[in-house]
Structure 1
Amino acid sequence: MNSVRRRLILLHRIPSVTRRMIYKLEQFDDTLLSLFSFTPSEISQFFSISIKEATLIYQQIRNVEIKSMLNEDEKLCHIVTKYDKEYPPLLKNIYDAPLVLYALGDLSLGHHLPSISVIGTRKPTVDAPRKLRHIIGPLLDKDWLIVSGLAYGIDSLAHQLTLQYKRKTISILGSGFYHIYPKQNISLFKQIVKIGLVLTEYPPNISPKRHHFPERNRIISGITKATLVIEATEKSGTLITVDQALEQGKDVYAVPGAPFIPETVGCHKMIQDGAKLIRCAEDILEEWKYL
């Protein structure tokens, strides 16, 4: 294994080392080697952290157990770094791009075009499956790739519809592979691994944390050129992904609905704020020609 790549994966796994720290280290030393020879005092000065935090990093870098777990994880899944050709190209250019991804399934799908991220509320209306089939179905017939997050609601429905069409889908997780969340979607996760791709920036042993999901959302929006919102309430977590998509310079599409239904209020607000109103698949296909 390339030594720089190996060092990046190791540093990425250390809880006390943040992505921002790794970015700073790269600017100073693109081989990442210097950190492995720093004393705790030098680590403290370089990152402007306490000597206690620096000592912990010093110890974790040399922790044999962390290196052993890395070796085991390499047997379980693909580990893709930003240095690798398998790294999804559209993801590489976003702000705060993931440094390391853990993958199960078909790595080539990270390069598949055309593709679109499909997101929405975790508590969709009874009309949501019909909306998805109406808008996404024709795209699947044209071999579009669907990206979503394996969450309850719209995410699950989008993945399920894609599998029904026997097409490809990418699922982005907010946890490691040993801790699939929600547990009710373990079967769906296994189906996606067989014919699609599952990605996460968290090592397999990492359980889901609340802050993981906003982090995960930047990958959902970043891995494609456009994000489609099927349903969203006014204060839906979906809006976090939409904000990230806009910050990344991605296109945002939203499906309208009856004005008195809470699950469409978020979509209407997005359209008022400039999202493209989507009535059918043809609207997306027209936009794709422009993109």
Structure 2
Amino acid sequence: MTAKEYITLKHAKTSKSIQKKLQTYDALDTSQLEYLLRRHDVKYITINDLNYPPLLKEIYDPPYILYYRGNIDLLKIHALSIVGSRNCTQYTRASLSSLLSELSNVVIVSGLAFGADEYAHKIAIDNQLPTIGILAFGHSIHYPKTTQHMRDVLDCHYLTLSEYPPETGIEKWRFVARNRIIAGLSKGVLVTEAEEKSGSLVTLEMAMDENRSAMCLPGNMTSKYSKGTNLRIQEGAKMVLSAQDILEEL
């Protein structure tokens, strides 16, 4: 981080949230951070940069710095966030294959987790849709190992984002914090399958809190992986039966 960027960062907004973050940045060794960014081939933008996504600025607690690898211009494309159970069934895969094949001019955002996230990224690429992976740790780390190959593809050809410096490790609370970025980057969040208590539903609630579209796939009433989505539809989330349903929300 250059001295000019740091001064801009320190004197921009003065809300309590920003002040708290600036206290954290005060403790940063900026020389060490610049070294780590070069070492791990990671770049960054701040909330004051033109490339910072306008929708993300609108959320309650926007990340002040976004670290990234890949094509930052993907942030200029309208986004659809897709999340779901790590233990999703083939229903998620089949549904996304059908839906994404009929979409264009949209970037798919997800969290590079095992299960629904991985399907969302892979099926997007299979259908020539760009995709963005949101990390809950620094760029020198990856979890889970099963999605490492997909992560490598996104790093090289698409985009991965994190609000954390490169060597920031894994903490459970960071995955919850990551969800607000997934929700905040897009105009709508689609949940494919989710248990009654699921992190995917937390992301959906964050989207609703930010006045974004909440969408769910309806599922078999006997499947525990559709219980959460069916309940949310009953409570008012949009039921998605076709790509047109998504386009109407975006």
Q: Return the TM-score normalized by structure 1.
A: 0.78
**In structure 1, the residue corresponding to 2:45 is in which secondary structure?**
strand
Paired position in structure 2 for 1:67: 30
Structure 1 position 129 matched with structure 2 position 93: yes
The amino acid of 1:100's aligned partner reads I
Q: Distance in 2 between matches of 1:130 and 1:22?
A: 41
Q: Distance in 2 between matches of 1:181 and 1:242?
A: 22
Paired position in structure 1 for 2:63: 98
**In structure 2, the residue corresponding to 1:235 is in which secondary structure?**
coil
Structure 1 position 249 matched with structure 2 position 202: no
Higher relative contact order (CA 8 A, sep 6+): 2
Paired position in structure 2 for 1:277: 239
Q: Distance in 1 between matches of 2:194 and 2:43?
A: 34
The amino acid of 1:118's aligned partner reads I
Residue 165 (structure 1) shift: 2.1
Paired position in structure 1 for 2:75: 110
Q: Distance in 2 between matches of 1:132 and 1:73?
A: 37
Query: 8 Å contact 1:118–1:147 — kept in the other structure?
Result: yes
Q: Return the TM-score normalized by structure 2.
A: 0.90
Query: 8 Å contact 2:81–2:190 — kept in the other structure?
Result: yes
Q: Distance in 2 between matches of 1:276 and 1:110?
A: 25
Query: 8 Å contact 1:79–1:101 — kept in the other structure?
Result: yes
Query: 8 Å contact 2:17–2:61 — kept in the other structure?
Result: no
Unaligned 5+ residue runs, structure 2?
none
Q: Distance in 1 between matches of 2:2 and 2:51?
A: 15
Query: 8 Å contact 2:93–2:119 — kept in the other structure?
Result: yes
Structure 1 position 193 matched with structure 2 position 158: no
Q: What whole-Å deviation, never above 9, does each CA across 1:191-220 have from its counterpart, x for those lacking one?
A: 012221100001110011000011000000
Q: What whole-Å deviation, never above 9, does each CA across 1:238-288 have from its counterpart, x for those lacking one?
A: 111011111111110000011001111111111111100000101112333
Q: Distance in 2 between matches of 1:74 and 1:261?
A: 45
**In structure 1, the residue corresponding to 2:132 is in which secondary structure?**
strand
Q: Distance in 2 between matches of 1:81 and 1:67?
A: 15
The amino acid of 1:23's aligned partner reads I
Query: 8 Å contact 1:89–1:110 — kept in the other structure?
Result: no
The amino acid of 1:223's aligned partner reads L
Q: What whole-Å deviation, never above 9, does each CA across 1:210-233 have from its counterpart, x for those lacking one?
A: 000110000000001100011111
**In structure 2, the residue corresponding to 1:252 is in which secondary structure?**
strand
**In structure 1, the residue corresponding to 2:101 is in which secondary structure?**
helix
Residue 24 (structure 1) shift: 3.3
Structure-to-structure mapping, 1:198-237, within 5 angstroms = 198-237=160-199
Q: Distance in 2 between matches of 1:62 and 1:190?
A: 31
Paired position in structure 1 for 2:131: 169
Residue 73 (structure 1) shift: 3.2
Percent identical residues: 34
Q: Distance in 1 between matches of 2:17 and 2:241?
A: 44
**In structure 2, the residue corresponding to 1:170 is in which secondary structure?**
strand
Residue 138 (structure 1) shift: 0.9
Unaligned 5+ residue runs, structure 1?
11-18, 27-31, 36-56
Query: 8 Å contact 2:138–2:165 — kept in the other structure?
Result: yes
Structure 1 position 265 matched with structure 2 position 227: yes
Structure-to-structure mapping, 1:72-91, within 5 angstroms = 72-75=35-38, 76-91=41-56
Q: Distance in 2 between matches of 1:62 and 1:238?
A: 33
Paired position in structure 2 for 1:47: none
Superposition CA RMSD, Å: 2.4
Q: Distance in 2 between matches of 1:23 and 1:287?
A: 31
Structure 1 position 5 matched with structure 2 position 11: no
Alignment size in residue pairs: 246
Query: 8 Å contact 1:5–1:83 — kept in the other structure?
Result: no
The amino acid of 1:129's aligned partner reads R
